[in-house]
Amino acid sequence: MKHLLLILIGTLLFTTVLTAQEAAQWRGKDRDGIYDETGLLRSWPAEGPKLLWHYDNLGDGHASAAVVAHDRIFTAGAVDGKGSIIALSLDGKLLWSTPYGDEWIESYPGSRSTPVVDDGKVYLMSAFGKIVCLSTDKGNLLWSVDIMKDYDGRNIVWGVTENLLIDGDKLFCTVGGVKNNVIALNKNTGKLIWSNPGNGEISAYCSPMLITLPSRKILVTMTEKSILGLDAGTGKKLWRHEQVNMYAVHANTPLYSNGYLYCVSGYGYGGVMLRLLADGTGVEQVWKNAALDTRIGGVVLLNGQIYGLGDKIKGLHCLDWKTGKEVAYDKFNGKPGVVIASEGMLYTYDETGEIALVEPTLAGFKKISAFKVPYGTAQHWAHPVIESGRLYVRHGSSLMVYDIRK
């Protein structure tokens, strides 16, 4: 009996480890830009941390890396307008590359979205609205859906851009149609589970997030002029809050903590804090602040403060989560960029190609170390990723991997 118990425990632990290893998505496990790592360097050499390897044949694009611990790396790129999902080993060797169809070739060409990995499958949506599901082991196509043809979706100025979200058997996607505005598909088959007309608006480059309450799960996303809250199980619209800015670009994933929801948009609009009703059926505005208006770089919440790189007022901003008051500001390089965090430290990646390690303090910010990425072309827009003591940085056709462990 004792030996049987040990076998069962071992099997359970092995299954749990495999499950953890098979999941990877946009901006970390909670989609909030926080990476739960330990033992990372608190400063870097002048030339930056050790570059372990770089892979330079990804093709055009801005997709980040989806890194499955102790397994492999997934990203996407495009060559001559044809997109592919790419799987690399942890030492930078190409394992497979599977074409998924046409990709964006106009302004800012290439892949837009980061793959999401779940339960032995990898998913991605192209800028033309084709969703594909591949096996992670060999990259063979399991199913595909065209949201433009199948659900009367509408494309947008720079191509639909959404880092897909999975919960249980559901894969969520913003179609941007009048009837089918937000949908949930079965992640194993691609079949429709539910559809909601939302506010009938086009999509807005937003990657959704999920709020888990005792009574329900709420899917939160932003469309052309709205922040939407939908019941994730049924698709029922629970509430809408107006969010309107120039160009209808709302590319930042909302942040949620203890009953409060922060949504931020660029081009001078800024962020709004909403209080969620206890049962999730409504929201009310608490504060709004336009100083921090990151366009596509995301924000992080650390110790009750919001950090992000501004768009109109460029530089690093810090806002108090409860009041919206600006606690600190530093011009830095005066360029927009991305912010992620780990072990209480900020990692910024701006449009000059500089990666900086920043310590947030009560007095403001302290830039500890910085270096510029040496490979790749075009815009520095992909969000860096930290996994198992490594920093993954995508720049155009190149992926660079740095050792940031002590």
What residue has token string 């509408």?
A: 154
> Is there a contact between 294 and 336 (Cβ–Cβ < 8 Å)?
yes
pLDDT at 362: 77
How far from 210 is each of 65, 126, 200, 252, 287, CA to CA, in Å? Answer: 21, 22, 21, 14, 22
Q: How many CB atoms lie within 10 A of CB 304?
A: 10
- Cβ within 8 Å of residue 188, ≥6 positions away: 121, 169
- Cβ within 8 Å of residue 15, ≥6 positions away: none
The CATH number of the domain covering residues in 31-62+294-406: 2.40.128.630
Tell me, letter by letter, the H, E, C secondary structure of 184-243: EEECCCCCEEEEECCCCCCECCCCCEEEECCCCEEEEEEECCEEEEEECCCCCEEEEEEC
How does DSSP classify residue 261?
Answer: E
Domain ranges of the chain: 31-62+294-406
Instruction: For the chain, state the CA radius of gyration.
Output: 20
- Cβ within 8 Å of residue 110, ≥6 positions away: 59, 60, 61, 62, 77, 78, 83, 103, 104, 378, 396
pLDDT at 19: 41
Residues 288, 273: Cα–Cα separation, whole Å: 6
pLDDT at 96: 98
> Is there a contact between 128 and 135 (Cβ–Cβ < 8 Å)?
no
- CA dihedral (256, 282, 295, 179) in degrees, to 10, reads 120
How buried is residue 113: exposed, middle or buried, by Cβ count under 10 Å (0-12/13-18/19+)? buried
pLDDT at 86: 98
Residues 382, 90: Cα–Cα separation, whole Å: 19
DSSP string of 112-142? Answer: -SPPEEETTEEEEE-TTSEEEEEETTT--EE
H or E stretch at 8: helix 2-21
Interior/surface letters 171-185, b for 16+ CB within 10 angstroms, e for the rest: bbbbbbbeebbbbbb
| pLDDT by residue, tens only, the chain of 406 residues | 444 333 333 434 333 333 444 689 999 999 999 999 999 999 999 999 999 999 999 999 999 999 999 899 999 999 999 999 999 999 999 999 999 999 999 999 999 999 999 999 999 999 999 999 999 999 999 999 999 999 999 999 999 999 999 999 999 999 999 999 999 999 999 999 999 999 999 999 999 999 999 999 999 999 999 999 999 999 999 999 999 999 999 999 999 999 999 999 999 999 999 999 999 999 999 999 999 999 999 999 999 999 999 999 999 999 999 999 999 999 998 999 999 999 999 999 999 999 999 999 877 899 999 999 999 999 999 999 999 999 999 999 999 999 999 9
- Secondary structure class of 20 (helix, strand, coil): helix
Q: How many CA atoms lie within 13 A of 301 on its CB side?
A: 20
